[in-house]
């Protein structure tokens, strides 16, 4: 495959995160620089896929329709650029779903959709689950300090030792496009 692809987590990477969940389009606020970073990737010809755990659906905090409205707000902010794929897992950790990160189901769906292998492909996240799933698929994980990133770093987890850490998605994209 000659076209470059990147996989992004959503909450904490693209938009601000909350321990109380992002439950409406009004609460969906982009992280500073994230929309511009995605626009730059798209203008440079990259495929941009999103893989996001959304247990708030199963918890009853918001509906699939509300999630769709949040994603429409996101797409509208891209001013004509597009997100190529959004996968979400509405499950709880205890559901043991193969779709929910750190399981690889969402990444497998991205591979199937784009007929590609994600080996070596960049994945940007802010949680240990994001890092774990990227490593499970032999991707190149990047940790951002936004969202739960600082908390993730504070765990001192040994898997983080070799993972590049950036301030935010904008900084990751600047490095990738340099």
Q: Has 11 been annotated as catalytic? A: yes
Catalytic entry in 9, 17, 126, 130: 9
CA proximity to 137, closest of 167, 108, 177: 108
Catalytic entry in 11, 17, 126, 130: 11
159, 171 in Cβ contact below 8 A? no
Identify the helix (H) or strand (E) that includes residue 41: helix 34-43
Beta-sheet strands, E only, within the chain: 5-8, 47-53, 85-89, 122-125, 140-144, 165-166
Q: Has 26 been annotated as catalytic? A: no
**How far apart, in whole angstroms, are the C-alpha atoms of residue 79 and residue 105?**
30
Active site residues: 9, 11
């Amino acid at each position: 495959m000659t076209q470059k692809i990147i996989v992004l987590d959503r909450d904490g990477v693209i938009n601000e995160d909350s321990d109380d969940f992002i439950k409406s389009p009004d609460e969906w606020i982009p992280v500073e620089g994230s929309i511009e970073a995605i626009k730059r990737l798209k203008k440079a010809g990259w495929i941009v896929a999103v893989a996001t755990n959304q247990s708030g659906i199963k918890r009853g905090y918001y509906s699939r329709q509300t999630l769709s409205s949040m994603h429409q707000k996101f797409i509208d902010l891209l001013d004509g650029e597009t997100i190529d794929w959004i996968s979400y897992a509405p499950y709880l950790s205890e559901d043991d779903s193969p779709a929910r990160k750190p399981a690889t189901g969402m990444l497998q769906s991205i591979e199937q959709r784009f007929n590609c292998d994600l080996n070596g492909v960049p994945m940007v996240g802010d949680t240990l689950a994001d890092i774990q799933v990227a490593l499970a698929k032999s991707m190149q994980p990047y940790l951002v300090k936004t969202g739960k990133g600082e908390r993730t770093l504070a765990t001192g987890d040994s898997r983080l030792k070799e993972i590049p850490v950036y301030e935010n998605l904008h900084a990751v994209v600047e490095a990738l496009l340099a």
